[in-house]
A = this chain, B = another copy of it.
Amino acid sequence: MKTTRNTTAKTAVLEIFGKSKTALSHTEIYKLTADLCDRVTVYRILDRLVNDDIVHKIVGLDGTVKYAKCHHAHPVTIHNHAHFSCENCLEITCLESVKPSYIIPHNYKVNDINFTLSGLCPNCLNSNI
């Protein structure tokens, strides 16, 4: 079986996730590592983290891909919670408490869910933009 190793680059990326309250894009993460490793390496670390369910991938309404650390008490197969994508500051945050309810047509098999709301986050709403 393929085991996953704890490298310095991976540790650094995890630390970055720990410090950030919002979801981060590959580019943002790469910049925050400050030339610790190659661009490609960051892509591969993210792939592994997503695979190991340590981080989850979020796609914004505009198509931008971001990543955020999961806060599940236990591992889950479906990340059934909403994300908020702010149109002003472009930040994406997890709304862990917002779970959508819906009725699936019976002839579809659902494996994953992406529920993203966009608009203005509390910060930008206060700034009256």
- Does chain B have a CB within 8 A of A103? yes
Q: Which residues from B are CB-within-8-Å of A117?
A: 104, 108, 110, 112-114
Partner of A122, one of B82, B100, B107, B125: B107
Chain A residues 80-128 with CB under 8 Å of chain B are 82, 84, 87, 95, 97-105, 107-122, 125
In the complex formed, the residue of B with least CB distance to A62 is B59
Tell whether, in the assembled complex, residue A115 and residue B114 are in contact, meaning their CB atoms are under 8 Å apart.
yes
- Does chain B have a CB within 8 A of A37? no
- Does chain B have a CB within 8 A of A61? yes
Residues of chain A having any CB pair with chain B under 8 Å: 57, 59-65, 82, 84, 87, 95, 97-105, 107-122, 125
